[in-house]
Amino acid sequence: MATATKTLARAPKRNGKTKLEGSEIAFKIFSYLFVTIFALMCLYPLIFVFSCAVSDGQAVLDGRITFLAVGWQWIAFRNVIMSKTFWIAYANTFFVTLFGTIYCMGLSILGAYALSKKRLVGHDLFNFLLIFTMWFSAGVVPMHLNYQSTWVVLSKMGFTDQKWLIVLAMGMSAFNVILLRNAFDSVPIEIEEAAQVDGANDFQIMSKIYVPMSKATVATVALFYGISRWNGYFWAMQEVSNVYDQPLQVVIKTNIDVINETISDTGLTLNADGIAPQSEIYAMIVCAIIPILIIYPFIQKYFAAGVNLGGVKE
């Protein structure tokens, strides 16, 4: 009783609100200031890239762009939009992201549901093996051999589109499966038992009970897969030899290499349109991140809830 009285004395109420102490006010000010600075640091590269894409060519070559654009022009964006190669690469990236995310989510949900069931024969062993792959990665060489073997199988099946190689070769992430498994573990067992009494099989229980009740984690994992497929570069560069099947990130990196070679041979010069060679690269980068910027706000509300629900096992 005495402790409660002292606490109330330290935090008197005014107009129904608790008065904050000086240390709490200072902590809140510091927290908001830190978050604001961090947000600006994250936003600055995007603003810088956009400014370089729309700035005067000579200003870009001279390195006079630090934040806002200097001498506005839209030629770089016009050239990118009129480029057939860019749109082919954009379509390839959409293809890999869409079908890759669907494929990975299907495998991950099936695997997570099975691993969440203690009646699974070898339940502990399979869960250990899944976590073991996170501790000790196989490495680059086995992954390269996996891609090669997958392409051999796809070729024998009649596939000539190398985009399917990127979609199928790497099916799922152990971390994402663990997130889904932990989310499924949090679903009350009584609901599953009631569904079994009504005659539901495992697939119906998974699709109509577990997935809807874990939609925050499912949306979060789908976001992880989608971003990884959209930004995927290394293996697409290594394995996709057909230029008409290359995703956008590979095309951007190829153009960067071409510009660097040109600069090393002829020096920093404006191109025929009067813009800096880097401006078109910056314009392509801006166009590449637009879909992510559009989609992310709609699923952001699931992000924190999904990670917390899937990352903590009760």
DSSP characters over the chain? -HHHHHHHHHS-EETTEEPPPHHHHHHHHHHHHHHHHHHHHHHHHHHHHHHHHHS-HHHHHTT--SSS-SS---HHHHHHHT-HHHHHHHHHHHHHHHHHHHHHHHHHHHHHHHHT-TTSTTHHHHHHHHHHHHHS---HHHHHHHHHHHHHHHHHTT---THHHHHHHS---HHHHHHHHHHHHTS-HHHHHHHHHTT--HHHHIIIIIHHHTHHHHHHHHHHHHHHHHS--HHHHHH---GGG--HHHHHHHHHHHHHHHHHHH-S---TTSS-HHHHHHHHHHHHHHHHHHHHHHHHHHHHHHHHHHH---
pTM of the model: 0.78
- Higher-confidence position of 13 and 100: 100
pLDDT at 98: 92
Task: Enumerate domains of the chain plus CATH numbers.
Answer: 21-73 (no CATH), 84-311 (1.10.3720.10)
- Report the chain's mean pLDDT, rounded to a whole number: 81
Range from 15-24, 211-220, 303-312 that averages highest in pLDDT: 211-220
Q: Identify whether the C-beta of residue 162 lies closer than 8 Å to the C-beta of residue 151.
A: yes
Instruction: Evaluate if residue 13 carries a pLDDT over 80.
Output: no
pLDDT (mean) for 115-133:
86
Residue-wise pLDDT for 201-236, tens only, equals 888 999 889 998 888 888 888 888 988 888 888 888
Split at pLDDT 50, 70, 90, the class of 306 is low
Split at pLDDT 50, 70, 90, the class of 108 is very high
